[in-house]
Homo-oligomer: A and B are copies of this chain.
Amino acid sequence: MERMIENGQGILSPALLLEGWQGHRRLTRRVIEAFPEKEFFEFSIGGMRPFADMVKELLAIAEPGLKELVSGEKQEFDEKREYGNKKSELLAHWDAATEGINALWEKLPAEKFPETAILFGAYEFPVLWHIFYFIDNEIHHRGQGYVYLRALGIEPPLFYER
């Protein structure tokens, strides 16, 4: 962000952004829950990854990414981390990340959001843009999870319920 936020032009606070993000994460959690155990890890369309692998990507980004943005310490982007082979184990990691994100957020003051930061040692953008990317990427893959569920004959959670 070359431009800083001019006085009176601020329309979003860190607290509201966190609220929006965690609302999306609650919906993604319900999408995970909607998958049958086996299909969560195995079902795929058009050569794409199973939804479990997309969720592992989301877990690899959210808490580790935020940790790097907060601390400046380079984190490894690792979407192959082992979370166990059960949906319940991934959900437990999901919930731990929810708490982790909330705790890290306390260390991210408003003035940091327009500052440029390097993520996973590679991507350089303003902190706000990184966090929008985390959220957008989650919505993107969750939308793909909706197609998997529909293809499996399963009604997905309502998109607007957070």
Query: Interface residues, chain A, CB within 8 Å of chain B?
Result: 1, 3, 5-6, 8-17, 20, 24, 45-48, 110-111, 113-114, 128, 132-133, 136-137, 139-144, 146-153, 159-160
Q: A139-B136, A142-B140, A144-B147 are in contact. Are A153 and B13 (CB under 8 A)?
A: no
Copies of this chain, how many? 2
Alpha-carbon separation in the docked complex, A147 to B141 (Å):
10
Would A159 and B137 count as touching, CB distance under 8 A?
A: yes
Top 6 nearest A-B pairs (CB, nearest first) are A10-B10, A143-B143, A46-B150, A11-B113, A46-B151, A12-B12
Chain A facing B: main interface SS: helix
A160 is contacted by which of B9, B133, B149, B151 (Cβ under 8 Å)?
B133
> Could you list 21 examples of A-B contacts with CB < 8 Å?
A1-B16, A3-B15, A3-B16, A5-B10, A6-B13, A8-B111, A9-B13, A11-B13, A11-B17, A11-B110, A11-B128, A12-B12, A46-B147, A46-B150, A46-B151, A48-B150, A139-B143, A140-B142, A140-B159, A143-B143, A144-B146
